[in-house]
Structure 1
Amino acid sequence: MRIAVAGGTGVVGRHVVEAAESAGHDAVVLSRARGVDVLTGSGLEQALAGAEAVIDVTNTTTLSAAKATRFFETATATLLAAERRAGVGHHVALSIVGIDAIDASYYAGKLAQERAVAAGAVPFTIARAGQFHEFAGQLLAGMACPVAVMPKMLTRPVAAREVGAHLVRVAEGGAVARARDLVGPRDEVLVDLARRQLAFEGSRRRVLGVRLPGAYGRGLASGSLRGGPEAAHGEVTFDEWLRAADHG
């Protein structure tokens, strides 16, 4: 199968590409570094030639609901239009578990993406996953101050590598509208994850947890982002991930 991976050089995308190739598929990376822009459509039709499925793991870094919504709606519309012209039979979109009641900030963009995918003309599957083990480190890296401030957040983080393999299996299975959710093996608290990662790396930075205001903050602290009892569970714990090559 020829699988195009939108965002194939990112945190999850590189694992999707690796999993697809390991399973014997022909993986095509859709990224600006490869001359393909999913926002403008530049280079997209040529890259999709012969593709049977597209896995969309594109991302944007923002807490603005307006900016996140604009990004995901634009990228989704551009991808779906090009897929329809190219005869792609399956669009797989990665989303986040438990965001239904958190239509705010970044999650507003992901919900808008889900709605756009469902309203499109290409057969689709929305695959939701928990936050990645990489998430705490990404937040830490974005803070230059000696004290890191983390939102109070209950989560069940999952390894990005396991998410990548899951998305390839979803693509192989054909369009089903909504795949089974995937979360990690253990309930965790984001502040604690950040402290454990800093300790593992030998850093003395302090981490403070704060309750963010509004619907976004309530959603983070509510526990809904841990997913439901019907979710499938990954196997790699956060502490195992810290000791693995993916963390390095």
Structure 2
Amino acid sequence: MKIVVVGGTGLIGSRLVRELALEGHDVVVAARSTGVDIVAGAGLAQALDGAEVVVDLSNPGYADPGEMLRFFEASGANLLAAEHRAGVTHHVTFSAIGSDRITNGYFLAKNAQEDLVVASNIPFTIIRSAPLFEYIYDIVGAQSDRPAVRLPPVRLRPIAADDAARALARVALGAPENAVVEIAGPDTYALSSLAGQILTANDDLRPVIVDDAAPFFGGPVSEPLAGGMYPQIGATDFEDWLHQSLTPA
């Protein structure tokens, strides 16, 4: 099966490409570094030629909410139109738990992307993921020059990137759900608690301050990001992941 992974060089994309290749599939990595620009549309026709499945893991970053929205609207329209022309039979979008409820930042942009997918008439599955352990680690690390780490009062059920990639592989190789599938980790935490564990593990004595105004993925968030009643659950818990991430290879 030919599967195109858009954003296949990123954190999850590279893991997904490896999973699918090990199972013997013809995997095409679509990224700027491989000559594919989904915003401009360059290279899409060649990458999608003969493809049955497309997994969209594209991401512009989290710094500018307006840019995120423009990116997902433009790239989604280009990619889905190209998939129509290529005869793609399953489109998989990696989205975020909360995109149906939170109306700012990354979540608003992902909601716009989801709407394009649903309206495209291409059989689809939308995977809404809880935040990744790796992203939370990066959020704490990005505040390394500050006297305290400020985070919003969010409870979440984070998941490891490896577990998210395995879930994506299962979905990509299965029949389209034409629905939303949620994935999350095994445990629910306060974001401030995770930050405290990360700081302690790195011998960082700075305090964690819960601040309602602190942004999370481009905007204020106070609602839980844990999924609904029956998300698919990854196997890796945060404590094990943190220990492994700090252990020299």
Q: What is the TM-score normalised by the length of structure 1?
A: 0.91
When residues 147 and 247 of structure 1 are mapped into structure 2, their CA distance, relative to the original with a 3 A threshold, is farther
- Secondary structure of 2:210's counterpart equals strand
Q: Given that residues 53 and 88 in structure 1 are in contact (C-alpha distance below 8 angstroms), is that contact kept between their aligned partners in structure 2?
A: yes
2:90/2:176 contact within 8 Å kept: yes
1:247: how far off? Answer: 8.4
**Corresponding position: 1:196 with 2:197:** yes
1:212 is aligned to 213
Contact 2:152–2:214 at 8 Å: present in 1 too?
Answer: no
Supply the distance in 2 between the matched residues of 1:213 and 1:28 (Cα, whole angstroms): 38
1:31 match: 31
* Deviation string, structure 1 residues 159-184 (Cα, Å, up to 9, x no partner): 11111111111111122212431111
RMSD of aligned residue pairs (Cα, Å): 2.0
Deviations 1:71-104 (A, max 9, x none): 1111111111111122211110011123322122
Kept after mapping to 2: 8 A contact 1:130/1:227: yes
What corresponds to 1:236 in structure 2? 236
Within 5 Å, give how 1:65-84 maps onto structure 2: 65-84=65-84
Match of 1:152 in 2: 153
Question: Tell me, which stretches of 5 or more residues in structure 2 are unaligned?
Answer: none
Can you give the 5+ residue segments of structure 1 that lack an aligned partner in the other structure? none
- Letter of the aligned partner of 1:194 in structure 2? A
**Could you tell me whether the CA contact under 8 Å between 1:134 and 1:247 is conserved in 2?**
no
Distance 1:33 1:111 in 2: 27
Does the 8 Å CA contact 2:48/2:86 hold for their aligned counterparts?
A: yes
Distance in 2 (alpha carbons) for counterparts of 1:209 and 1:122: 42
Aligned partner of 2:105 in structure 1 is 105
Match of 1:11 in 2: 11
> CA separation in 2, counterparts of 1:140 and 1:213?
12
CA contact (8 A) 2:94 2:127 kept: yes
AA aligned opposite 1:192: S
Cα gap change, 1:247 to 1:191, in 2 (>3 Å): farther
**If the length of structure 2 is used for normalisation, what is the TM-score?**
0.90
**SS in structure 1 at match of 2:36:** coil
What is the letter of the counterpart of residue 20 of structure 1?
Answer: L
| Percent identity for Structure 1 against Structure 2 | 37
Deviation of 1:245 (Å): 4.9
Asked whether the equivalents of residues 152 and 212 of structure 1 are also in contact (C-alpha less than 8 Å), the reply is: no
**What do the CA deviations read for 1:132-169 (whole angstroms, capped 9, x no partner)?**
11122121232232422222211000111111111111
Report the residue type matching 1:56 in the other structure. Answer: D
The letter of the residue matching 1:158 is I
Task: Indicate conservation of the 8 Å contact 1:69/1:109, yes or no.
Answer: yes
